[in-house]
């Protein structure tokens, strides 16, 4: 495996109960990958732990941001790091074990397939074989509605547009102007697919079973969902204007 091949990005805030074990598991499952932690100065010491781990292990990288600026901007920082350091691909995932570590090799296997080359592989909850068994019905309905809205307003064909578990081709990410992004929160993931679609990126989905976090507190709520709908509506207007031109 060439140097700077695979980067695994973890955006964190108050994940000290999960991050050490998460990195240990990733090291066992994908030992050749580098791991980048982008932490928003967590008061629970997550960032401090990541910095100390990066000093012990050169395959662990850590970026500590002094202000909490939102999940979207943290992921953008990780994607820019992958571009700046010439990685071949970057896997983005949650640090709380909601995305099964054992599925990372499956994501990479699909990414590396030569039969149907792709630029983005999505770990999907909403294709055959995918599931969210721990969610209450209200959260399932909210997520389904947001994803349907993304397909309707942004012209996306993928089924799971709000999930964070993805593998991106770095050469394709170079085509994006991150200064154009308007989302700072969870709607970032729909916006990313929309902007990748504009540069003719190729997409694929593999099924995953999303497991709700066992430690820590979830950051998603109804306010974030409504904000995502608002941002997608704004992007939809821009899309219609672009088509009319």
CATH number at residue 37: 3.90.550.10
- Give residue 235's pLDDT band: very low, low, confident or very high (50, 70, 90): confident
Per-residue model confidence as pLDDT tens digits over 79-112: 999 999 999 999 999 999 999 999 999 999 999 9
Three-state DSSP at 109 gives: helix
Per-residue model confidence as pLDDT tens digits over 143-189: 898 899 889 989 999 999 999 999 999 999 999 999 999 887 778 99
Which residue from 218, 212, 220 is spatially nearest to 14, judged by alpha carbons?
Answer: 218
Three-state DSSP at 14 gives: coil
Over residues 215-219, the mean pLDDT reads 55
Strand partners, 60: 35
Count other C-beta atoms under 10 Å from residue 108's C-beta.
Answer: 19
Considering only 124-128, 133-137, 223-227, which range has the smallest mean pLDDT?
223-227
Hunting for tokens 């430690």 — which residue is that? 215
Q: Which domain holds residue 70?
A: 6-244
Q: What is the pLDDT of residue 4?
A: 80
Dist CA 51 CA 183 (whole Å): 27
Over pLDDT 90: what percentage of the chain?
73
- Give residue 243's pLDDT band: very low, low, confident or very high (50, 70, 90): low
Dist CA 102 CA 117 (whole Å): 22
Q: Which residues of 121-135 are buried (b: 16+ CB within 10 A; e: fewer)?
A: bbbbbbeeebebeee
- Flag whether 44 is in a domain: yes
- Flag whether 14 is in a domain: yes
Per-residue model confidence as pLDDT tens digits over 25-53: 999 999 999 999 999 999 999 999 999 99
User: Please, which residues have CB within 8 angstroms of residue 84's CB and are 6 or more apart in sequence?
Assistant: none
Over pLDDT 70: what percentage of the chain?
88
- Flag whether 1 is in a domain: no
- Flag whether 141 is in a domain: yes
166-169: strand order across its sheet: 60-64, 34-39, 6-12, 89-93, 166-169, 120-124, 203-207
Calculate helix-pair angle for 19-29, 46-56, nearest 10 degrees. Answer: 40
Q: What is the pLDDT of residue 212?
A: 84
Q: What is the pLDDT of residue 2?
A: 46
- Flag whether 16 is in a domain: yes
Number of separate domains in the chain = 1
């Amino acid at each position: 495996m060439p140097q700077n091949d695979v980067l695994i990005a973890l955006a964190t805030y108050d994940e000290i109960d999960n991050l050490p074990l998460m990195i240990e598991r990733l090291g066992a499952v994908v030992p050749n990958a580098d791991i980048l932690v982008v932490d928003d100065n967590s008061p629970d010491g997550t960032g401090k732990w990541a910095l100390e781990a990066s000093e012990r292990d050169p395959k662990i990288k850590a970026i500590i941001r002094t202000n909490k600026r939102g999940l979207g901007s943290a992921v953008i920082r990780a994607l820019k790091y992958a571009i700046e350091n010439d990685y071949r691909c970057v896997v983005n995932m949650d640090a709380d074990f909601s995305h099964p570590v054992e599925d990372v090799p499956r994501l990479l296997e699909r990414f590396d397939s030569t039969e149907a080359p792709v630029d983005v592989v999505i770990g999907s909850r909403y294709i055959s074989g995918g599931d969210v068994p721990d969610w209450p019905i209200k959260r399932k309905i909210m997520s389904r509605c947001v994803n349907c809205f993304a397909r309707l307003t942004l012209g996306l064909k993928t089924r799971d547009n709000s999930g964070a578990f993805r593998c991106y081709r770095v050469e394709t990410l170079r085509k994006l102007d991150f200064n154009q992004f308007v989302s700072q929160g969870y709607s970032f993931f729909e916006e990313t697919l929309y902007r990748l679609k504009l540069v003719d990126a190729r997409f694929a989905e593999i099924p995953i079973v999303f497991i709700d976090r066992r430690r820590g507190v979830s950051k998603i709520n109804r306010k974030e969902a409504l904000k995502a709908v608002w941002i997608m509506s704004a992007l939809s207007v821009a899309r219609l204007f672009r088509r009319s031109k």
